Amino acid sequence: MTDFLCKVEGLQVTFPHRNGDFVAVHGFDMHVKRGEIVGLIGESGAGKSTIGNAIMDLLSHPGKVTGGRVLLDGDDIVQKTDKEMAYLRGRRIGMIFQDPMTSLNPLMTVGDQLSETISVLQNVTMQQARVMAVERLSGVGIPEASDRMNQYPHEFSGGMRQRVVIALAMAGDPDLLIADEPTTALDVSVQKQVLDLIRSICVERFLGVILVTHDMGVIAQTTDRVYVMRHGKLIETGASAQVIEAPSNQYTQDLIAAIPRIDLREERFRNPPKKTGEIDKWLLENKPSAQTGDFLTATALEMDFATRKTTFWGKGSGFRALEVPDISIARGEVLGLVGESGSGKSTLGRILTGLMQPTHGTVSFTDHGPLTQVKSAAARKALRRDVQVVFQDPYSSLNSRMRVDQILAEPIRFHGLAERGQINHLVGALLERVGLPADAGRKFPHQFSGGQRQRICIARALSVRPRFLLCDEPTSALDVSIQADMLALLMELRRSLGLTMLFVSHDLAVVRQVSDRVAVMKKGVIIECRESEALFDAPENDYTRMLLETAPRARVCS
Amino acid sequence: MQFLIARLFQAAIVMLCVAFIGFLVFQYIGDPVLALVGQETTVAERDALRESLGLNDPIIVQYFRYVANAIQGDFGISYSFNREVSEMIADRLPATIELVLLSGVLSLLLAVPAGIYTGIKRKGGIAQTIMALSVIGVSVPSFLLGILLILVYSVWLNWLPSFGRGDVASVLGFETSLFTLDGLRHALMPAAVLCLFQLGVILRLIRAEMLEVLRTDYIRFAWARGLPARHVYLGHALKNTLVPVVTAIGLQLSSLFAFSIITERVFQWPGMGSLLLHAIGQSDIPLLAAYLIFVGLIFTISNLLVDAIYVLIDPRIRHGAR
C-alpha cells in the first residue's frame, strides 16, 4: 500500500486521426489521497475530462492511453484487461457526469436503476437491494425516498437527479470518485448543495475525489488541492487557496483575472481599448435623435403556457409562467435580468423584443408605438431593424451552410442599408469592429471557435444598425477568458454606439459587470429591481441575498 | 388512459373516412344496376331495381346505410361470386393472417437479435456480413425471390411444396395451417419471402437506434457504475431503442398485408391478396370496397396498438411530460 489512493504518472492519451495523431494529454502527473478532493481545472479542450475518462478506461473512440501509468493503490490499471477494468468500475472507481438530465435512463424508475446497480455490485438479491436503495436515496438527501423510488427521472428536479446520480455512482462503495463537471448544468443555489453533498461523502467515507471543472469558484469552494491544465499539459498545481490567491504561472494568473467578480464592478470591462472607428459613423446613422426617456415600456404582462391537451375536445390547463406588472428600459440603459432556470427571464426577454406574444399586457416602444399596433409589413421591418438579438449558443445560431460574409450581408441587403458595391467593404469593417480579421468572411462558421462565433453573432446583430440589443445568456457557452473579452466588447460597443440593452443571464457576477439596473426574477415574478450597484451591495430581498451568498466565488475576500 | 381514449376516438373518425372512400367507389365506378342486370332488362325494370336497392336516396342516407351495414358485417353481395362479401372475406382472412403473422414473427425473431448484435459489434466480420445480406433483403423484389425459392426447394430439391395451403386444422374456430406439419411446409416459403423485406428494414432500424443510444450519457454512466454488458445492452439500451422501432413495426405490419398480394399470387396462396386480384380483374366493386375498408381497419388497429405500446414503454408519454 502506498500513501496515494490513485497516482497518475506521465499519462499520455492520443486520438489517432488521419491527418496525424492528436495528443490530448501529454505526460500528466497527479495523485489523490483518501479523504481529499482534488480539483482539475482548465478551459474547454484542455484535456481535463479526458483524464477522468482515461482513468475509467471509458475514452471515447478512437482515443487510447499511449503512455504512462495509473496506479490505484499501487496497482497499474492501464495494464488491466477489459474484464478486470469492468470489475473495477463502480466497485473501486465511481464516476459522475455533467448533465443529470441525460445521465439517467429515462425509461426506468429511479428505484429500479439504483437497486439493479446495488444488486450487481454488492451481490445481493433484488429485494435486499431495494431496501438498501431506499437507504442510499435518503443518504444523499432525497426526502420521502421510499415513495420516490417508483418515480421516473423526469419527475425529479435537476438537483435531485444529480443526487440520484451520486447515489448510483456510490452504489458499489468505490474508493475513488471522479466527478466530471457535476454542477455545471445546475443553478447556483442547487450547485452549492450538491458540492456540499460530495464534500460530506468524501469526509464520511474517507473517499478520494477528483473534481473536474472549468469553474474556479467551484474549485475555491470545494477542493483541497488543484491541478491547472492547458492544452493537455499540467500548468500549475498546489493547495487550492494558494493557487487561487497567488498563482505562479502566467496562464493561471490570466485565468483567474478573467473571472468576473460578483463583489465588485470592475473598470476593465468598462474601458477596453477601442479597435476601429471608421465603421462607427455608418453604425451611428440610425441613432435616435432623442437620448433620454424610455426606449420601451411594458405594462400588465402575463404569460400563460397551456399544458398539452390530453383529449381531442378537452382544454389544457394553463400554467402562469410570467406576471410582470410593469417594466421599462431607458434609452442607453443596460438592464440586467437574472434568475435561476425556469424563472421566466428568457420568456420576459422574448416578450419585450416581440419574439413572443404575451397572453395579456402590452409592450410599447417609444419609437414605434405599442407592439400590437405594429401591423404593416413596413412598420414591422422598421421595428425589427431596431431590435436585435444575440443568442446563447453560438454553435446553433449561425447557419452552417452560409459563409460568414453572406450571413452578415443578408440583413444589410434585406433592409436596403447600403449600396450593392459597398456591402463587401461594410462586412469586412464590421468583422474588424468585433475583433475578427476582415477576411474572416470567406470562411464558414464551423471554422471558428465558440468565442469567434459569438463575435460573428454580434457583428450580425450590428449589421442592421440596431438601437436595442437583447443578449440572452451571450457568454454562458464560452470559457471564462473568452467571456471576459466578450463582455468587454459588448460594453465598448454599447458606449460607442449608445445601444440600449437587455442582458439576460443566470450569472450574477457577469450581470454586475455590465448592467446599470438589475431585475431579479423568481417563478415568473420580478422580486427586486434596482440600480445594479445598490442591489449587489445591499440586497433587500431574501431570495436575492440567498442567490448572492450561494454564488461560488474564486476569491473569498478582497 | 385519456391519451388512449383520444386515440380511439381519432381512429373511429379515420375509419369513417375510409368507409366514405369505399362507399364513393360504389357511387362513381360504374353503375351497379348495369353490372347486375342483363342486356334485355327494360328501363322500367331497371328503375324499379334502382328504387328497391335504395339507390335513389340522397347520398348521405346511402352512406349511413352502408356504414350501418358494414358495422354489422354486411358488405353486400359480390357481383362475380354472387356470395356475401363478408362470408368470402371470412373464408380468406385466416390464410392471409397466418401468413402475415408467421412472417412477422419470423422477421422479429431474426431482426431483433441481429440488429442488437450488429449495433454492438459494428466492425466485426459477422456484423458486416449481416449488413451486406440485409441490403439484398431490402432490394431484391419479392416475386423474384419467390420464384427462386420455388426453383431451388420445389423443383431441384423437391423439399417443399410450391403452391397452395396444404392441410388445415381447426383451432378456436379458425381454419389454420399453422398447426399441421403439411400446412407449415406450405407456409414456410411464402412466409420467408414475405419476411425478408421486413427483416432488412427492422434490422437496419434497430442497429441505427442502437448505435444512437449507445452514445448517450446514460449508457456511459451505466458502464461507469460497473453494470455488466448484458444489463447495459439488453436492459438499458434495448428498451430505449424500442419507441422508434415499434413505430416502424406498426407500419411494417400494415405493409405486410400489402406485400402479401404479390407473394400470395406467386405461391397460389388462397388468401385476401388473391381475392383482391380477382376482384380487380372482375370489377367486383362490393368486394373492392370491402377490401379497402378492411385494409384501412388493419392500419388503424395496428397504429392504435403502437400508441398503446408507446404508453407502456415511455413513462414520459404517460405523464404528459416533455
Domain range annotation of chain A? 6-107+152-257, 108-151, 270-307+316-403+414-419+466-550
Which residues of chain B does A99 touch, with a Cβ-Cβ cutoff of 8 Å?
217
Residues B43 and B90 in one domain: no
Alpha-carbon span A503 to A458, nearest angstrom: 13
- The enclosing H or E element of A486 equals helix A480-497
Residues B153 and B222 in one domain: yes
For B:186-245, CB contacts with A below 8 A are: 216-218, 220-229, 231, 235-236, 239-240
Half-sphere exposure of residue A24: CA atoms within 13 angstroms, side-chain side: 23
Predicted local confidence at residue A311, as pLDDT: 47
Residues B241 and B159 in one domain: yes
Residue B290 lies in a domain: yes
Residues B40 and B96 in one domain: no
- Among partner residues A94, A102, A312, which is closest to B10 by beta-carbon distance? A312
Closest CA to A519 of A359, A267, A349: A349
Which residues of chain A does B313 touch, with a Cβ-Cβ cutoff of 8 Å?
107
- For A6-107+152-257, give the CATH class: alpha beta
Cis peptide before A62 (omega within 30 of 0): yes
Per-residue pLDDT, averaged over A289-294, amounts to 77
Bridge partners (DSSP) of residue A327 are A298
For an interface test with A, the pick among B218, B219, B307 (most A C-beta atoms closer than 10 Å) comes out as B218
Neighbouring residues of B72: CB distance < 8 A, sequence distance ≥ 6:
none
Which residues of chain B does A117 touch, with a Cβ-Cβ cutoff of 8 Å?
225-227
* Binary contact (B228, A155; C-beta < 8 A): no
For an interface test with B, the pick among A49, A312, A313, A315 (most B C-beta atoms closer than 10 Å) comes out as A312
Alpha-carbon span A8 to A86, nearest angstrom: 19
Residues B48 and B152 in one domain: no
Bridge partners (DSSP) of residue A8 are A30, A70
Residue of A nearest to B314 (CA): A107
Q: Chain A: nearest CA to B21, how far in angstroms?
A: 24
Domain that holds residue B12: 2-71
Q: SS3 for chain B, per residue?
A: CHHHHHHHHHHHHHHHHHHHHHHHHHHHCCCHHHHHCCCCCCHHHHHHHHHHCCCCCCHHHHHHHHHHHHHCCCCCECCCCCCEHHHHHHHHHHHHHHHHHHHHHHHHHHHHHHHHHHHHCCCCHHHHHHHHHHHHHHHCCHHHHHHHHHHHHHHHCCCCCCCCCCCCEEECCEEECCCCHHHHHHHHHHHHHHHHHHHHHHHHHHHHHHHHHHCCHHHHHHHHCCCCHHHHHHHHHHHHHHHHHHHHHHHHHHHHHHHHHHHHHHCCCCCHHHHHHHHHHCCCHHHHHHHHHHHHHHHHHHHHHHHHHHHHHCHHHHCCCC
Summarised one tens digit per residue, pLDDT across range A369-397 is: 888 888 888 888 888 889 999 988 888 88
Query: A117: alpha, beta or left, given left = phi > 0 and alpha = psi -120 to 50?
Result: alpha
Residue B77 lies in a domain: no
Query: B76: alpha, beta or left, given left = phi > 0 and alpha = psi -120 to 50?
Result: left
Which residues of chain A does B220 touch, with a Cβ-Cβ cutoff of 8 Å?
58, 97, 103
Residue of A nearest to B310 (CA): A107
Summarised one tens digit per residue, pLDDT across range A491-548 is: 888 888 888 999 999 888 899 989 999 999 998 899 999 999 999 999 999 999 998 8
Bridge partners (DSSP) of residue A28 are A11
Alpha-carbon span B188 to B160, nearest angstrom: 8
Per-residue pLDDT, averaged over A231-236, amounts to 91
In this structure, are residues A385 and A462 in contact, taking their beta carbons and an 8 Å threshold?
no
CA triplet A496, A500, A504: central angle to 5 degrees? 115
Which residues of chain A does B235 touch, with a Cβ-Cβ cutoff of 8 Å?
108, 116
Half-sphere exposure of residue B287: CA atoms within 13 angstroms, side-chain side: 25
- Percent above pLDDT 70 for chain A: 94
Alpha-carbon span A102 to B236, nearest angstrom: 13
Residue B261 lies in a domain: yes
Predicted local confidence at residue B322, as pLDDT: 39
* Binary contact (A121, B313; C-beta < 8 A): no
Owner of C-alpha cell 434497430: B206
* Binary contact (A86, B222; C-beta < 8 A): no
Residues B42 and B100 in one domain: no
Alpha-carbon span A427 to B293, nearest angstrom: 62
Q: Does A164 score more than 90 pLDDT?
A: yes
| Cβ neighbours of A292 (radius 10 Å) | 7
* Binary contact (A116, B231; C-beta < 8 A): yes
Q: Chain B: nearest CA to A317, how far in angstroms?
A: 12
Count of all residues that appear for chain B in the document? 322
Which residues of chain A does B5 touch, with a Cβ-Cβ cutoff of 8 Å?
311
Predicted local confidence at residue B53, as pLDDT: 73
- Among partner residues B3, B228, B239, which is closest to A120 by beta-carbon distance? B228
More confident residue, A553 or A180: A180
Confidence tier at A171 by pLDDT (50, 70, 90): very high
In this structure, are residues B6 and A312 in contact, taking their beta carbons and an 8 Å threshold?
yes
Domain count, chain B: 2
Residues B61 and B187 in one domain: no
Residue of A nearest to B321 (CA): A154
More confident residue, A124 or A44: A124
Phi first, then psi: give them for residue A48, nearest 5 degrees. -70, -40
Q: Chain B: nearest CA to A465, how far in angstroms?
A: 38
- The enclosing H or E element of A179 equals strand A176-180
Alpha-carbon span B13 to B7, nearest angstrom: 10
- Among partner residues B2, B313, B316, which is closest to A154 by beta-carbon distance? B316
Alpha-carbon span A109 to A130, nearest angstrom: 12
Summarised one tens digit per residue, pLDDT across range B60-81 is: 888 888 888 888 878 777 777 7
* Binary contact (B221, A104; C-beta < 8 A): yes
Residues B134 and B257 in one domain: yes
Q: Does A280 score more than 50 pLDDT?
A: yes
Which stretches does DSSP call E strand in A257-317?
294-306
- Percent above pLDDT 90 for chain B: 6
Bridge partners (DSSP) of residue A125 are none
Which residues of chain B does A58 touch, with a Cβ-Cβ cutoff of 8 Å?
220, 223-224
- Among partner residues B218, B225, B229, which is closest to A94 by beta-carbon distance? B225
Which residues of chain B does A118 touch, with a Cβ-Cβ cutoff of 8 Å?
none
Q: At A249, list the grid cell.
A: 504561472
What is the predicted ipTM?
0.77
* Strand, helix or coil for residue A527: strand
Summarised one tens digit per residue, pLDDT across range A187-224 is: 888 888 999 999 999 999 999 999 999 888 899 989 99
* Binary contact (B315, A165; C-beta < 8 A): no
Q: SS3 for A204-234, per residue?
A: HCCCEEEEEECCHHHHHHHCCEEEEEECCEE
Residues B240 and B184 in one domain: yes
* Binary contact (A102, B226; C-beta < 8 A): no
Per-residue pLDDT, averaged over A46-65, amounts to 88
Q: Does A407 score more than 60 pLDDT?
A: yes
Counting one residue from chain A and one from chain B, the pairs whose CB atoms sit within 8 A come to: 101
Which residues of chain B does A108 touch, with a Cβ-Cβ cutoff of 8 Å?
235-236, 239
In this structure, are residues A129 and A136 in contact, taking their beta carbons and an 8 Å threshold?
no
Alpha-carbon span A95 to A59, nearest angstrom: 13
Owner of C-alpha cell 439517467: A104
Rg of chain A, C-alpha, whole Å: 26
CA triplet B22, B25, B28: central angle to 5 degrees? 150
Rg of chain B, C-alpha, whole Å: 24
For B:280-319, CB contacts with A below 8 A are: 313-316, 319
Alpha-carbon span B216 to A64, nearest angstrom: 20
Q: Does A449 score more than 60 pLDDT?
A: yes
Residue B76 lies in a domain: no
Residue of B nearest to A54 (CA): B224
* Binary contact (A311, B218; C-beta < 8 A): no
More confident residue, A110 or A45: A110
Residue of B nearest to A316 (CA): B320
Alpha-carbon span B150 to A357, nearest angstrom: 66
Closest CA to A132 of A147, A143, A144, A117: A117
Query: A97: alpha, beta or left, given left = phi > 0 and alpha = psi -120 to 50?
Result: beta
* Binary contact (A104, B236; C-beta < 8 A): no
Least confidently predicted of A94-98, A212-216, A434-438, B253-257: B253-257
Q: At A101, list the grid cell.
A: 438530465
Bridge partners (DSSP) of residue B61 are none
Chunked mean pLDDT (size 10), chain B, 322 residues: 79 87 74 69 80 77 82 78 83 84 88 90 86 84 84 84 73 68 82 85 90 90 90 89 84 79 84 84 81 85 85 76 42
Residues B56 and B110 in one domain: no
Alpha-carbon span B251 to B296, nearest angstrom: 12
Task: Return the sign of the alpha-carbon dihedral for residues A431, A433, A437, A438.
Answer: positive
- For A270-307+316-403+414-419+466-550, give the CATH class: alpha beta
Predicted local confidence at residue A554, as pLDDT: 67
Q: What is the mean pLDDT of chain A?
A: 87
Residues B24 and B154 in one domain: no
- Among partner residues B2, B6, B225, which is closest to A172 by beta-carbon distance? B225
- Percentages helix, strand, coil for chain A, rounded to the nearest 5? 40, 25, 35
Chain A: which residues have CB within 8 Å of chain B? 56, 58, 86-91, 94-95, 97, 99, 102-109, 116-117, 120-121, 152, 154-155, 165, 168-169, 171-172, 307-308, 310-312, 314
- Among partner residues A120, A171, A172, which is closest to B231 by beta-carbon distance? A120
Q: Does A56 score more than 70 pLDDT?
A: yes
Confidence tier at A102 by pLDDT (50, 70, 90): confident
Residues B178 and B122 in one domain: yes
